[in-house]
Amino acid sequence: MATRTTTTSRPRAGRALSADQYEADFTLEELAVAYFDCRRNKRNSASALGFELHLERNLIELHDELAAGIYRPGRSICFVVTRPKAREVWAADFRDRVVHHLLYNRISPRFYASFNQDSCACIPGRGTLYAAQRLEAKIRSATQNWMLPVWYLKCDLANFFVSIDKLVLWEQIAARVTAPWWRQLAHTILFHDPRLDYELRGAPHLLHRVPAHKRLGNQPAHLGLPIGNLSSQFFANIYLDKLDQHVKHQVRARHYIRYVDDFVLLHESPQWLNTALADVEQFLPDVLHAQLNPSKTILQPVDRGVDFVGHVIKPWRSHTRRRTVNEAIHRVSRIEPDDVYTSANSYFGLLRQASASHQDRAALARAVLRRGHSVNQAFTKTYRKST
């Protein structure tokens, strides 16, 4: 594994504030809650263990930096994931993740209260299962339980995370976050550029597998959010809230749902959907400085199947995307023996979300059995090997 460190002067993510200018409106207890939220899935990472080793001292130091207005984000870690496709991931240092959770815990409720019910991802209770079930309910409503012909328009934003205009996003955040100290903290997190101080982990040649137009390092400073941080996912939802409101209130789409940058509209008229598409294509560059990916724009009848968030919804049934099933079988067949139990149960949990998943779960069960594990009769769970 190769490691490279790139360090330059840190970016000026907004003017530093002294404690005399703006009072820090948070407590050490809130910071501790943010720490426990942050460590929930990261406790065994090196940075998390290092922070926990001197937990009380680190929390107090971080609290004092924030309260004095001298907090600045630290070094990020950059690496490349290759499944399902190659992409950069920028992971903030653990103490910075704690700050992300602190900001998220305080300001997210005011945004969630105004978000459309059809906005999904990084919202409690609105994951992929929620999105798939809600779309299926909308299809059933529009088609009167598959009795009437209905069309769907599916769109995807081009190079979404690396093309987000932070100046546009900041206007949306500043309009809702009125407390000066919290607004300044949001500004510091949003405009921090991880490319100026980061550590590259993994094989350097993997970076070349990421297309140039999808690399954060190739974007201007005012464009792009680092994939891998809670703040980026939350900010992305704020950024696209204008799209949600426009589609619902200006385009007047009755049946609409969005998961991150993928969204679907339903209507009985394909001509109406084409008009809606033209409206969205004009709205995105004018207001959000974003573009649709024309190669991923689909307009066809719903009875052919709607592929959304890994589920393919067809008349009276749904199943998991074929590529996902094949990836699950391939991975379980080749991973380390100690990882089969956790990975297989994770995939069983994913597959059972679809109503027509028996054959897919049976195929996965056969792969698990070949690895020496046992599977229950319903093909929904595997067990550890007996020693």
DSSP code string of 1-53: --EEEEE-PPP--S----TTTS-----HHHHHHHHHHHHTTTTTSHHHHHHHH
- What is residue 88's predicted lDDT score, i.e. its pLDDT? 93
CA–CA gap between residue 259 and residue 257 (Å, rounded) = 7
301 pLDDT more than 60: yes
65 pLDDT more than 70: yes
Sheet with 151-156, side-by-side order of all strands: 119-120, 255-259, 262-267, 151-156, 298-301
- What is residue 275's predicted lDDT score, i.e. its pLDDT? 98
Burial class (CB in 10 A: 0-12, 13-18, 19+), 74: middle
381 pLDDT more than 70: yes
Mean pLDDT of the chain: 91
- What is residue 203's predicted lDDT score, i.e. its pLDDT? 87
- What is residue 387's predicted lDDT score, i.e. its pLDDT? 58
Q: 47: which 2 tokens?
A: 């940075």
Average pLDDT over residues 365-376: 95
- What is residue 21's predicted lDDT score, i.e. its pLDDT? 55
Model confidence band, residue 1 (pLDDT cutoffs 50, 70, 90): very low
Average pLDDT over residues 361-373: 95
9 pLDDT more than 50: no
CA–CA gap between residue 10 and residue 70 (Å, rounded) = 13
- What is residue 121's predicted lDDT score, i.e. its pLDDT? 85
CA–CA gap between residue 311 and residue 40 (Å, rounded) = 28
CA–CA gap between residue 73 and residue 100 (Å, rounded) = 10
Query: Residue 78: beta bridge partners?
Result: 90, 200
Average pLDDT over residues 287-295: 96
Average pLDDT over residues 373-386: 91
Phi then psi for residue 178, to 5 deg, are: -95, -20
Q: What is the pLDDT of residues 277-287, one digit of tens each?
A: 999 999 999 99
For 243-308, what is the HEC assignment? HHHHHHHCCCCCEEEEECCEEEEEECCHHHHHHHHHHHHHHHHHHHCCCECHHHCEEEEHHHCEEE
CB 13 within 8 A of CB 73: yes
- What is residue 10's predicted lDDT score, i.e. its pLDDT? 37
For 226-237, what is the HEC assignment? CCCCHHHHHHHH
Q: What is the pLDDT of residues 307-328, one digit of tens each?
A: 999 999 999 999 999 999 999 9
- Neighbour count for residue 82 (Cβ, 10 Å): 11
CB 344 within 8 A of CB 379: no
Average pLDDT over residues 121-136: 92
* pTM confidence score: 0.88
- What is residue 25's predicted lDDT score, i.e. its pLDDT? 87
